[in-house]
Structure 1
């Protein structure tokens, strides 16, 4: 997601939606979380209004990631893992495109309850990226993840475990926020996995905006790797 403070330069102050102020406060709480427990509490507090408030910012990623999934994963090949699924915004879009076997993973039980109400996920599990994940080696055809490798969230090292649970010939599809790509050591982890013959690069997008409406300087890049 975006920076600590969201701005809308194209609208006069009196026309700014009320949700923008609420989104700013919620973003402050998740981007300043200094422990997994603090982050989980922040998302628990945000869960009920997360969809409305991120929509007011024009948050693109949960919907745009489906373009990369459909490009690399044929319908009928599964299961897929939505890693850091939050309230499950990606699931219904993929279900509408014919993907029927999607698992969701998130650190927040409150977010997972909302994801479950969408009837798009075959299973939902609570766990934190960066620690052990509750699936066997090579379980998934692909994993996809948006807005998770960002400020004060999942570490780059979490990619090792995600690759472990993805089968050979499967795909890793995920976004990384510009502000953490270098400081978070993502390139080093990319290189480690490549040198260990665990994956190979397939494509990387240009840096692009997280939001259609707010914060034009908040950028992410989508990466796609084939697991080996």
Structure 2
């Protein structure tokens, strides 16, 4: 599939079913085509994870892990207990082949997640909170499965921070004592080569 067309179909998805279909169609060529676009988020997120989570401290959850690009790099940096979730079974099969994840589960963000309260030392996500993807309310379940004192590390597309309710949700969680803000980046490019208008911000929170 043409990389620009694939990206457009992903952004245009209006239901979880459409999104799953778009990623299923893109799965086989996703790694090559996103590399050609200069997609850097799966690799850049390791900087925030290792800044706030000590080597070997886990388990970690890669939310929206896709084909599992991040897992091998975190493993190389000393993190062994890494789990992943994604909406797309096709993407998860590729992630499994990388051998970096201790468990992979298919789940839809915005619904209940299949882990107990406080299961993870840290939860991270890149490229998921963007146009046509997971709702801001999905953050509630992410907080629930992160242990007190653990970290939630997210990138969010700058264009939906206010319009999709992310900033309001972040503030509500802080006001209710569920987490506190630790770090917030300026907007930066998600694609180093193409799509210069696609900017994201990274957020780090410590769960209470």
Query: Aligning the two structures, in what range does the TM-score lie when normalised by the shorter sequence?
Result: over 0.9
SS of match in other structure, 2:113: coil
Aligned to 2:71: 91
Q: Does 1:152 align with 2:137?
A: no
Within 5 Å, which residues of 2 pair with 1:23-172?
23-172=3-152
List alignment gaps of at least 5 residues for structure 2.
none
Residue 57 (structure 1) shift? 0.5
Distance 2:104 2:26 in 1: 19
Aligned-pair distance for 1:33? 1.0
Q: What's the counterpart of residue 185 of structure 1?
A: 165
Residues 210-219 or 52-61, more deviating: 210-219
Instruction: Give the TM-score of the pair, scaled to structure 1.
Output: 0.90
Normalised to the residue count of structure 2, the TM-score between the two structures is: 0.98
Q: Which has the larger radius of gyration?
A: 1
The correspondence of residues 191-210 of structure 1 with structure 2, limited to 5 A, is 191-210=171-190
The alignment yields a C-alpha RMSD, in angstroms, of 0.8
1:210 positional shift: 0.5
**Number of equivalent positions:** 208
State the alpha-carbon separation in 1 of the partners of residues 152 and 60 from structure 2: 10
Cα deviation, residue 156, structure 1: 0.8
Q: Which runs of 4+ in 1 moved over 6 A?
A: none
Alignment of 1:8-27 (within 5 A): 22-27=2-7
CA shift, 1:217, in A, is: 2.1
